[in-house]
Structure 1
């Protein structure tokens, strides 16, 4: 009976999907893609066999790939390189991803152009998440710069290098909002905030694709991922169920995708997770109703790695054939890695279960992307082994990596102005599992860069000081395990030093895909090391290595200074030294809230008040708080110190009245009374006091990076319009409602700064 039930369900869903697709405005969708196709390319569709069409929808991992690429995805059957060349000859493969450079691409493309019947160029894709051979800070770290220009420049450099190696398409940027720090994959995004997520999505798309159009030989097509709400996985467990309201989707998780598409991203990737019971990879509401009909997206949808195959494990499809049908009719144009489309679509089309028009539509979208990339005009435009050597790891790119690294470091604490350190006359002890060696530097999800080409902390510090012999280094402990005699050696080194740099935190493998954690604290072996080092009484700077927000407790909080140094890439050591010794002033801010406890997760600043908020002051009974602590962050979103002394004053809201068709000028004075130059990230937050849908306690609406010389004061001005106050109201429609609003111009999401109120009339 069970098999009959599943079979009947499959028949009903299949028939319903075909009917729904047939009733959709297919001709309009076809025209969107067709308008971008030259007549000669359009004519190819009519010449293709069904199997050749399905080949255009089949993307596989490159058989000729490096060890890093093989390690980053689950083990699955992969053809040999000769077998993939045979698939190219017969038109059964649209391209490969994470391959081994320009020479591999040249050999494959040559076969396509000389030996394939229709000579359709191949598409070469890769995971270029935060750099190619020159590695930049992880995206979450770089988001802390609150600098769209920096994000665009690093994405541009990554594209210049990747395109020189034959790559046409990158599976980036990840634009998922991540509000549970147990989820390791938040390291690939921009953190917890909607505005920052939108700004970074836009910047990274523009950087990857460049300003000269996708036909430029240094442009790569962007892919906004993962559509949608991958970052909302229950309990922060990767790949887990997502069950949230349509309002939350529209208000929080959809907008960064819309920003990426507005910036020109021609592709998107369906997410692994189910969404309110229906996996995203087979979700017609998500991939057709919202993406196609409502937003008018005419580009390509690709599955994530074996995403269509995973419909079976989800319990949504009975077998591979049904999984193929459900994913394809829902709107997934291209299948990655499972091979399901080339295996099962021909028979589904032959039996009338998938309309030929839907198959042609998907093929047209693939060919449109190839045409946009200029591959029909010159299939080898990005394939040049000589150019590959010239464009990678250039002096300019390494300089940019160092700049981006320094501008991503967040200073949480600096008691007594311990930092910056003097470059001479001081004995410095570097202690911890992250102080030396070409390891744990570049972070997760880098296919082509390596720690072996990165610069470690010890090298960076010794290069910065006048007498390198005064710098010593001791590991003290492993990342999760004690080292025999390690703490004793660390205590001796600390006792003999004038200042200690204690580098502790997470390994690269503790963040990233499939690296969810039940405890986001520092491993006990390192806490024991920190306890012993701090007991010496020597001034200590904690250099936190991490890929997520972390719980910081004693003894770490007893350190005089704390820097969040993330995974900074190729120039990790020099970038950190630039901040430590004052060659650059820290200017980054936290893109995620650092909680008091793991048990607070998911925690994010833009939460609701509830009907029983705890009043200011001590914890009260029968209020929305935990027994053990406040419903707040230890270090909130937006927090970060500088080497200046920054004060906020003189809030000016004009008349405090905003008309629906007007603008409100918001001004505040920002003063640096210190003796060092500083860059302050000035943030504007609002709270809608009473609305038809309850609103968050604060929402970031604008920010500015403001450079201040010692003793300088500047008036910072923001412009608020009614549209900035828009939210998703009843009926899940955007609305703006008159009423009272609180406003803060402040250095973080939980700081008072200067604040007041205004009225929207």
Structure 2
């Protein structure tokens, strides 16, 4: 029976909506339609909606025969599949959607998912780089571009954004997130949700449902080691890990993905506290929860579930609504219900949540609304999309050092030598997690600099960064032995006025399963840099990387350093426009850069400890005996081609009653020769609280654009949301006491004012 006929049948024996909080503001018309549909569904069909399969054959090709592909094909026809992932392209998606809509008993459409991490075909910078822009409008636009291209390809659901807060640069998946700070991470999460989902009406076929991942504490895995366990206290969980997810839920995100890790011994996939108590009840999340790839099955090797039956039971009772590729829900859940071992209300709730999002996406009104071949051709790779990601790339670049005023480069009359194989790479700048893009489609730094026709530019490779070109599925093998290009590069360096060296990690050197114990420039790159420095010290180091690196020697010796990350398809143009001064860099670091891996995890919002620095900045006990305690570059750090001066901040009064809003004001002046943008950052410190508070916490920022000599006064209002914190029971509280408000251009260089809450 086709579903469109069902909608006009009076609902008999309406199912009760389970575990739905009144605060969710559900659409009553959609809820009625879900009731009607579910009254007609068998338990097997309900469980089928909870089942997601990976793409498994050429859908427009011959029907698969034999093996798991044939079984998946048959299950779609039986109505035992609710979603597909990695099926893309209008023709392919239409073919699989047609099976679900026209060959199953109820004609329930599939929701089509895909990892759209930093763009679909037209790639933006990696998310960590975008976070360095601190430009929420640009980040929202980047997500909008990604959504439009994915939607035009037939996809209506993305497994992003990732909002895992992490303080550990060893972890490869840092490149997918927004860094170490929950406040910045939360603002960026909300911006990306808005970019993907628009106003949440999904009236446009170019907006898609977003996923908050990974829930939760994936960024706090031990040793930065992929898929590892996380042992964290409640203070860290409530105040560092969860806030960005709460921001995403408040922004209307439609799905949440489990993390792979255990949290204090419990797999996140089976953690009732975070999934039911917090996400679904306290936060009133009305979308659905999907497992990460096979994370339900992986609870067996974790030593948590003894077999598939136990894993299915634990996951569904905890609140995991959809099974991604474990293949466990369909074979076991219905039978567990029939045996009385799992309450059917859990299946009803999960099915309802999934159907709700499908209705919201308009898939029941038109299952083919995302499938338009003309739109696919017009949207993907459009000129406007390229312009948007170029803008995002320029805003993501961070100037770390600029002595001798080596930058910006002169557009003529200056001999410039470009070195490093990464400078000519059209693949590495694309970064990791770009499964819908085409290899070697990035504008290289060499190509970008060649656009400046009057520039006297010479390129010499020097050395190969890697021994061979890696892929998403292969380990990066860095060159550690071949120095054959040293001499040619050294000879060329003698005659150059300025040398630009592009060094760092390959684009596939970070990402999932790319954890590292050494954060130095890999392979022979630092040795190569030192050899060139002996010949000519006028070096601009351009870093390509997906995580903070330890570049102590470069910081001590190289006069100019540019953090250029992996910037996507327009990388070379963005780097060139910054180097030649057509764009004044304004990025700020979203993560602390350590001096060495022994400092990791290192982060700005740490506790003071009982024996901190004294008034003369002497260290008592909290220090390393073989290294400075301070970072190489602090959180929020970034220079400009101009300079900015901050006035002493002032506050509207010194004492406030609870509920009153302290307003902190500061004037910023451009004291240099170039027009530029500055990210003014507000931090606070609650000096004495029932739970010890960090030395400083970011609570506001504003992007200010100033001409030379221009000044601007800005204000930050502190509401309860900024002044409060979560106690160890997860309750948000605002306490009386003394506070410091600090404003500056980074977390280490601030000016402060004190006030009191009565």
1:128-169 Cα distance to aligned partner (Å, 9 max, x none)? 011011100111110111111111111011111110011010
- Which stretch shows the higher mean deviation, 444-453 or 150-159? 444-453
Q: Which runs of 5+ in 2 are unaligned?
A: 1-15, 60-65, 467-477
Q: How far has the Cα of 1:237 moved from its partner?
A: 1.1
> Bigger CA drift: 244-253 or 309-318?
244-253
Determine the structure 2 residue equivalent to 1:50.
Answer: 43
2:459 to 458, 472, 485: 472
Aligned partners of 1:31, 1:190: CA distance in 2, in Å? 29
**TM-score under structure 1 length normalisation:** 0.92
Provide the rounded CA distance (Å) in 1 between the counterparts of 2:658 and 2:33. Answer: 51
Shift of 1:560: 1.1
Aligned residue among 208, 219, 223 for 1:220: 208
CA distance in 2, matches of 1:722, 1:288: 26
SS at match of 1:449: coil
1:417 corresponds in structure 2 to 405
The worse-fitting range, judged by mean Cα deviation, of 338-347 and 587-596 is 338-347
CA distance in 2, matches of 1:538, 1:274: 49
Contact 2:20–2:286 (8 Å) recurs in 1: no
1:8 matched residue in structure 2: none
| 2:499 aligned partner | 500
- Partners of 1:65 and 1:597 lie apart in 2 by 48
Displacement of 1:416 = 1.9
Does the CA-based 8 Å contact 1:590-1:637 persist in structure 2?
yes
Q: 2:353 aligns with which of 328, 352, 365?
A: 365
- Distance in 2, matches of 1:34 and 1:736, equals 34
Q: Say how many residue pairs are matched.
A: 724
CA deviation vs aligned residue, 1:209-235 (integer Å, no higher than 9, x gap): 013612421110011111111111111
Equivalent residues of 1:494, 1:538 under 8 A apart? no
The correspondence of residues 395-410 of structure 1 with structure 2, limited to 5 A, is: 395-410=383-398
Aligned residues of 1:498 and 1:538 also touching (Cα < 8 A): no
- Report the Cα distance in structure 2 between the residues aligned to 1:31 and 1:405, rounded to whole angstroms: 39
Distance 2:236 2:689 in 1: 16
Give the Cα separation in 2 of the matches to 1:28 and 1:714: 48
- Distance, in Å, in 1 between the alignment partners of 2:128 and 2:560 is 22
Matching of residues 124-143 of structure 1 within 5 Å: 124-143=112-131
Q: Which residue of the other structure, out of 5, 10, 18, is the alignment partner of 1:26? A: 18
User: In structure 1, how many angstroms separate the alpha carbons of the residues matched to 2:730 and 2:197?
Assistant: 33
Q: Alpha carbons of 1:623 and 1:36: their partners in 2 closer, same or farther (altered >3 Å)? A: farther
Which shifted more, 112-121 or 704-713?
112-121
> Quick one: distance in 1 between partners of 2:495 and 2:90?
52
1:476–1:489 CA contact under 8 A, matched in 2: no
Supply the distance in 2 between the matched residues of 1:618 and 1:688 (Cα, whole angstroms): 21
Q: Tell me which of 84, 89, 92 is aligned to 2:77.
A: 89
Is 2:707 aligned against 1:715? no
* Partner Cα distance (1:62, 1:307) in 2: 18
* Distance across 2 between alignment mates of 1:536 and 1:616: 44
Shift of 1:38: 5.5
Q: 1:739: Cα distance to partner?
A: 2.0
Distance change >3 Å, CA 522–CA 216, structure 1 → 2: same
CA deviation map 1:294-342 (0-9, x unaligned) = 2222210100000001000110001112111111111111000111111
Report how far residue 757 of structure 1 moved. 1.7
Aligned position for 1:193: 181
Aligned to 1:706, the other structure's residue is in SS state strand
Checking the alignment, whether the CA contact within 8 Å between 2:227 and 2:261 is kept in structure 1 is yes
**Contact 1:429–1:493 (8 Å) recurs in 2:** yes
Residues 288 and 331 in structure 1, CA contact (< 8 A), matched pair in contact too:
yes
Deviation, structure 1 residue 514: 1.2
Where in structure 2 are the equivalents of 1:315-326 lying within 5 Å?
315-326=303-314
**Contact in 1 for aligned 2:234/2:729 (Cα 8 Å):** no
Aligned-partner Cα distance in 2 for 1:278–1:212: 33
Aligned residues of 1:441 and 1:451 also touching (Cα < 8 A): no
Q: Give structure 1 stretches of 5+ with no counterpart.
A: 1-23, 67-76
Q: 1:757: which partner in 2?
A: 754
Shift of 1:525: 0.7
* Alpha-carbon shift at residue 409 of structure 1 (Å): 0.3
The residue number in structure 2 matching 1:675 is 673
Aligned-residue offset at 1:473: 3.2
Q: What does residue 490 of structure 1 align with?
A: 489
Moved more, 488-497 or 401-410: 488-497
1:557–1:543 distance in 2 versus 1, CA, 3 Å: farther
- How does 1:73-152 map onto structure 2 within 5 Å? 79-80=68-69, 84-152=72-140
- Per the TM alignment, residue 487 of structure 1 is displaced from its structure 2 partner at its CA by 1.3
Equivalent residue, structure 2, for 1:246: 234
Preserved contact between residue 438 and residue 454 of structure 1 (Cα < 8 Å): yes
- The answer to whether the 8 Å contact 1:462/1:471 transfers is no
Residue deviations 1:253-308 (CA, integer Å, cap 9, x gap): 11111100111101101111111111110111121111122222221010000000
Matched, 1:579 2:571: no
Q: Is the 8 A contact 1:679 1:707 kept in 2?
A: yes
In structure 2, C-alpha distance between the alignment counterparts of 1:475 and 1:552, rounded to whole Å: 20
- 1:279 equivalent to 2:267? Answer yes
2:53 to 52, 55, 60: 60
198-207 or 606-615, which moves further after superposition? 606-615
Task: Show the counterpart of 1:72.
Answer: none
Partner of 1:547: 546
Shift of 1:40: 4.5
For 2:348 and 2:693, the matched residues in 1 are separated by 45
Residues 232/27 of structure 1: CA separation in 2 closer, same or farther (3 Å cut): closer
SS in 2 for 1:290: helix
Secondary structure of 1:366's partner?
helix
* TM-score, L = length of structure 2: 0.92
SS at match of 1:470: strand
Cα displacement (A) at 1:731: 4.6
> Structure 1 729/30 Cα, relative in aligned 2: closer, same or farther at 3 Å?
closer
Spell out the pairing of 1:441-480 with structure 2 (5 A cutoff).
Answer: 441-467=429-455, 470-479=457-466, 480=478
Give the root-mean-square deviation of aligned CA atoms: 2.1
3-state DSSP of counterpart to 2:422 = coil
Q: 1:451, 1:570 within 8 Å by CA — same for their partners in 2? A: no
Report 1:236-315 matches (<5 A): 236-315=224-303
